[in-house]
A and B are shown apart, each in its own frame.
Chain A
Amino acid sequence: EIVLTQSPGTLSLSPGERATLSCRASQTVSINYLAWYQQRPGQAPRLLTYGASSRATGIPDRFSVSGSGTDFTLTISRLEPEDFAVYYCQQYGSSPRYTFGQGTQLEIK
């Protein structure tokens, strides 16, 4: 099983700042098979990015992804108030076919 470890667990920033969220895999993952989600309280997860550089429909360009191998990063260039939420990375691979990281809580400082 590929384990995804996200860091930090909690990130405290102010609106307008840049956020860098990390996702580390226990084995090599193709970035084509990596996705990031945002989950606001009481809501379902929302797909943000998938693959090497694709944003889901309606996701602003302040969200970007990078990385390869076992280390991946979600960057939010300038935080807006609505960006404060929990973020999950997800990989597709061997059994189980999908696993999620444990999440990073992005909170307002």
Chain B
Amino acid sequence: QVQLQESGPGLVKPSETLSLTCAVSGGSISSANWWSWVRQPPGKGLEWIGEIFVGGRTNYNPSLASRVTISLDMSKNQFSLRLTSVTTADTAVYYCARHLAVPGTRGFDVWGQGTTVTVS
């Protein structure tokens, strides 16, 4: 079955750019139409960052939209997150997730294990 694996630097300096990649294995990235990034600050809840359609269309959380770019590379079966001008408030576990392919419903049915990013 499809598995997701996040990768990227665990430590980013303030004002720099956070870049993460989510590798899709066990199936094609076209197994779903939409893919998302979600983050979780230490000891806190979940925050949706944004999503990308396999055709390239994106939607972002307005609270992060000015700093976020999500892209997808079908040839590499992966999608990526770029967050610019990071601050300590961006310290979190970052998850990538696959959207359900059930028409008329919503939810994220496959998640990566998460990667911890510390801004310091």
Contact = CB atoms under 8 A, between A and B. Distances in A.
Interface stretch (B8-16, B20-28, B59-67, B70-78): B59-67
Interface string B65-103: 000000000000000000000000000000100001010
A51 interface: yes
A92 interface: yes
Most chain B beta-carbon neighbours within 10 Å: one of A44, A45, A88: A44
B46 to A, nearest CB: 4
Contacts of A103: 45-46
27 contacts: A32-B105, A33-B105, A35-B106, A37-B46, A37-B108, A44-B95, A44-B113, A44-B114, A45-B46, A45-B95, A47-B108, A47-B109, A50-B100, A50-B105, A50-B109, A51-B104, A56-B109, A88-B45, A88-B46, A90-B46, A96-B48, A96-B62, A97-B48, A98-B36, A98-B106, A99-B48, A100-B45
Interface of A: 32-33, 35, 37, 43-47, 50-51, 54, 56-57, 88, 90, 92, 95-103
